[in-house]
């Protein structure tokens, strides 16, 4: 596990390689919601929270995605993520809120919506600029790839990710996004997820997980980024508990991850040493 915490731009705690570079994946979503917050005074906290979410397609989350689509306005068929769930629907995809937000951004600026997920589209240029601004580096220094839902994803060192999260509330529109996440932590992922649990336990914190075992969080000028060595995210909770404890913060819900077999029997646990 690799982890880093920064405050006022300086590293205050680290484990493993704080300069490990990887794609932010879904940890980018709070940053990707910022252009929507800037462009649309009519989006509310639920809209911005679901635009920042990797949801589990529970009824409240799907209702929030549909409400954002209606406000855009856009139809489910315009979402450029793939279908998920049973029966398969684009709305069920865990990134559908982010995609709905991107369609809302297109409508606000009068941009064509087709291909909004692709590099070079106005939407992705806006996302690239926000990441560069938050991370404090030039846009051409950020490598890009294609995320699991088809949009552009951005690569940064863990230290720059942690720093970028400290900057979210300082960016135009960022305070609205952070406030929305704190108001609706259950929309961001779900009751057992480390990011949701951190926000429910630690007042003032925002947190967002990403694929391949990534977690970013921030509050009060402190930013944190954790990345599992093997890309498996199940150890993130116990690792985050141990690392946050080094910062004088307690998230007891994350200390132990019970392991069950197919019979529902507890057969082990994951803890951080």
The pLDDT score that the predictor gives to residue 270 is 87
**In the chain, where the domains are located:** 2-270
Interhelix angle 122-135/96-109, nearest 10 degrees: 110
Q: What is the mean pLDDT of the chain?
A: 97
**What does CATH list as the number for 2-270?**
3.40.710
Any residues with CB less than 8 A from the CB of 221 and at least 6 apart, and which? 7, 8, 166
Nearest Cα neighbor of 39 from 159, 184, 173 is: 173
* pTM for this model (two decimals): 0.95
Cβ–Cβ contacts within 10 Å for residue 50, how many?
A: 30
Per-residue pLDDT reduced to its tens digit, 28-83: 999 999 999 999 999 999 999 999 999 999 999 999 999 999 999 999 999 999 99
> What are 208-248's pLDDT values in tens digits?
999 999 999 999 999 999 999 999 998 999 999 999 999 99
Evaluate if residue 264 carries a pLDDT over 90: yes
């Amino acid at each position: 596990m690799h982890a880093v915490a920064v405050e006022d731009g300086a590293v205050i705690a680290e484990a493993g390689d704080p300069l490990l570079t990887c794609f932010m994946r879904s940890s980018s979503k709070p940053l990707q919601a910022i252009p929507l917050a800037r462009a649309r005074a009519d989006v509310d906290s639920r809209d911005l929270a679901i635009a920042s979410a990797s949801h589990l397609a529970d009824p409240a989350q799907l209702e929030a995605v549909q409400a954002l689509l209606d406000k855009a306005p856009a139809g489910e068929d315009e979402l450029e993520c793939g279908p998920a769930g049973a029966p398969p629907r684009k709305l069920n995809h865990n990134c559908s809120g982010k995609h709905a937000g991107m369609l809302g951004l297109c409508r606000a600026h009068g941009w064509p919506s087709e291909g909004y997920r692709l590099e070079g589209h106005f939407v992705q240029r806006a996302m690239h600029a926000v990441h560069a601004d938050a991370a404090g580096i030039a846009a051409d220094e950020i490598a890009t790839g294609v995320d699991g839902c088809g949009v552009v994803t951005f690569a940064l060192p863990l230290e720059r990710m942690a720093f970028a999260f400290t900057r979210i509330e300082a960016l135009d529109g960022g305070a609205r996004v952070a406030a929305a996440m704190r108001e609706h932590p259950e929309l961001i992922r779900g009751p057992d997820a480390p990011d949701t649990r951190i926000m429910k336990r630690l007042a003032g914190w925002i947190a967002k997980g990403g694929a391949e075992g990534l977690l970013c969080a921030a509050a009060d000028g402190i930013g944190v980024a954790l990345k599992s060595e093997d890309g498996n995210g199940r150890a993130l909770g116990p690792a985050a508990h141990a690392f946050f404890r080094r910062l004088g913060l307690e998230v007891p819900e994350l200390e132990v991850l019970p392991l069950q077999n197919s019979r529902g029997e507890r057969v082990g646990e994951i803890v951080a040493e």
